[in-house]
């Protein structure tokens, strides 16, 4: 019996040269092993290593529930160069997310975030996740965090979830200026616009509505674009990964396909 049953599984490659590779990570896949999700047996790091037949080195984080662009270096020296660029803010990321409520047309969320370990993902059946502590800003290891957002579309569904007879949702483009752990999910939750499908920082009743209406069982957050300087040539790179089919299907059901920039959505799905 093959001791690595997922060995034949491959990840879509958005960009590759002799120095680095960007893959399209699906929702539900961890980047690498973690004791906090000990039951998992599939990891992007191992899948890509087997796919390329060489060692790879992750450069960025991408939550298990999120999908989209994930950058790896192909040599330790390149990983170190890219890692330093990330620390200097040289990796610019663009995300799409579906959130609860109608947000302003654009804005920024500036809220320091304390360091924290990945919480174990709950079942998603509770109605509200606990808020961050009121003294979060003075936790040991707290660092400034800034997220810019732009609203692309809104919808109002004729379904009562909370106290109102209808439920409102927004499609957002997110541009984090910093890269703190769970930054987008924590910032949007703090702003009372949690990301749909987030069982840790979101609202269970809204998550269940999306499951019932759209059969959506994932975090509706995707990294659709990476911008950075090539670590060897110093040329600017822009790598895009269109929305995964399960995310794009929800966008289509909400009537938002025309609101997503063309390079972030495969129109011929």
pLDDT confidence of residue 114: 81
Q: Report pTM.
A: 0.87
pLDDT confidence of residue 35: 53
**What backbone phi and psi angles, to 5 degrees, belong to 33?**
-65, 145
Are 197 and 208 in contact, with CB atoms under 8 Å apart? no
Model pLDDT for residues 30-62, shown as the tens digit of each residue: 997 665 555 666 889 999 999 999 999 999 989
Q: What is the residue whose two structure tokens read 């702003």?
A: 191
Q: What is the residue whose two structure tokens read 């399960």?
A: 246
How big, in percent rounded to 5, are the helix, strand and coil portions of the chain?
A: 25, 30, 50
d(CA 35, CA 252): 37
Q: What is the residue whose two structure tokens read 């990945």?
A: 118
**Which residues are marked as active site?**
63
pLDDT confidence of residue 163: 87
Given a cut of 50, the residues of the chain with pLDDT beneath it are 1-4, 118-138, 267-269
d(CA 241, CA 222): 9
Dihedral sign for Cα atoms in the order 22, 56, 244, 224: negative
Query: What are the structural domains of the chain?
Result: 13-264 (3.30.2350.10)
pLDDT confidence of residue 121: 45
d(CA 83, CA 153): 34
pLDDT confidence of residue 127: 44
pLDDT confidence of residue 234: 95
């Amino acid at each position: 019996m093959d001791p690595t049953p997922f060995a034949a599984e491959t990840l879509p490659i958005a960009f590759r040269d002799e120095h680095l590779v960007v893959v399209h990570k699906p929702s539900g896949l961890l980047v690498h092993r973690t004791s906090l999700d000990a039951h998992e047996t599939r990891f992007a790091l191992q899948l890509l290593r087997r796919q390329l037949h060489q060692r790879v080195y992750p450069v960025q984080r991408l939550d298990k529930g999120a999908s989209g662009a994930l950058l790896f270096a192909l040599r330790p020296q390149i990983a170190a160069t890219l890692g330093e660029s990330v620390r200097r803010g040289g990796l610019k990321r663009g995300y799409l997310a579906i959130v609860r409520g109608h947000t302003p047309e654009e804005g920024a969320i500036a809220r320091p975030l304390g360091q924290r370990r990945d919480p174990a993902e709950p079942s998603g059946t509770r109605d509200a996740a606990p808020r961050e502590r009121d003294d979060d800003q003075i936790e040991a290891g707290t660092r400034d965090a800034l997220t810019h957002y732009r609203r692309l579309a809104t919808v109002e569904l004729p379904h009562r979830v909370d106290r109102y007879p209808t439920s409102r949702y927004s499609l957002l483009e997110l541009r984090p200026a910093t890269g703190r752990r769970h930054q987008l999910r924590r910032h949007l939750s703090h702003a009372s616009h949690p990301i749909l499908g987030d069982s840790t920082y979101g609202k269970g009743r809204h998550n269940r509505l999306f499951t019932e209406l759209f059969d959506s069982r994932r975090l509706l957050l995707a990294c659709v674009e990476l911008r950075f300087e090539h670590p060897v040539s110093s040329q600017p790179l822009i790598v895009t990964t269109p929305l995964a089919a399960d995310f794009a299907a929800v966008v289509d059901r909400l009537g938002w396909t025309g609101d997503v920039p063309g390079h972030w959505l495969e129109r011929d799905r």
